[in-house]
Amino acid sequence: MMKKTSVPIAKERLEALVVSDRIHCKPEEYEMICKELYKTLSKYMAVAEDEMRIHITRSEIHIQLMGEQH
């Protein structure tokens, strides 16, 4: 697994901050939600955490695996 540079990490943290603000939770809570979703999905299918994109709004949760076209 390749080590991420600081730019993608900073981008992910900023996205987490923006999303957590939109859904009215702390960034740490948003990260915990994402990790729990990953752990749950990985019980039933082979997926790498860095291959998942999770987008949460107040009314929906979208999970996209890299390579999917939607």
Residue-level pLDDT, tens digit, the chain, 70 residues: 456 677 777 777 777 777 777 777 788 888 888 899 999 999 998 888 888 888 877 778 888 888 654 4
Question: Model pTM?
Answer: 0.62
Q: At 29, list the tokens.
A: 């809570």
Q: Which of 31, 28, 23, 25 is nearest to 56 (CA)?
A: 23
Q: What is the pLDDT of residue 67?
A: 64
